[in-house]
């Protein structure tokens, strides 16, 4: 059995607001800690049959970056769902939602810029 280790470091300011996120993994080709502006981690609790999530983002994370991040995560979750369940129609529905989400966000951004 092979063991992989993922290390995540979170730096917070005096108000407990995330200032920096860095990570590294033993299976990564990167030798140094990598910077991230946001992270979302989910674990499935088999006993409680519930998702445990850890969502953090730094002060520097811009709203448009957060929208892109969520869009990309939804697309990746759709692919993962397809591979793990072979439910193509539901996977497609998730991607349709993600595409509508990012289009609506972009339209709202344009509307705000015109004001």
Summarised one tens digit per residue, pLDDT across range 34-55 is: 999 999 999 999 999 999 999 9
Assigned token pair, 109: 């951004």
pLDDT at 30 over 90: no
pLDDT at 29 over 90: no
Residue 28 pLDDT: 85
Are the C-beta atoms of residues 41 and 54 closer than 8 Å to each other?
yes
Q: In whole angstroms, what is the distance from residue 21 CA to residue 6 CA?
A: 13
Beta-bridged to residue 22, according to DSSP, are: 9, 35
pLDDT at 102 over 90: yes
Smallest CA-to-CA distance from 7 within 42, 43, 29, 32 is with 32
Span 46-93, pLDDT tens digits: 999 999 999 999 999 999 999 999 999 999 999 999 999 999 999 999
Mean pLDDT of 10-34: 94
């Amino acid at each position: 059995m092979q063991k992989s280790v993922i290390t995540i470091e979170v730096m917070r300011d005096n108000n407990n607001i995330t200032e920096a996120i860095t990570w590294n993994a033993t299976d990564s080709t990167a030798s140094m800690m990598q910077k991230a502006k946001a992270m979302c981690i989910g674990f499935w609790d088999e006993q409680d049959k519930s998702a445990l999530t850890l969502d953090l983002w730094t002060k520097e994370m811009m709203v448009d970056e957060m929208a892109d991040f969520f869009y990309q995560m939804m697309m990746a979750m759709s692919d993962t769902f397809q591979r793990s369940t072979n439910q193509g129609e539901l996977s497609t529905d998730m991607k349709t939602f993600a595409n509508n989400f990012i289009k609506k966000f972009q339209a709202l951004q344009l509307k705000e810029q015109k004001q």
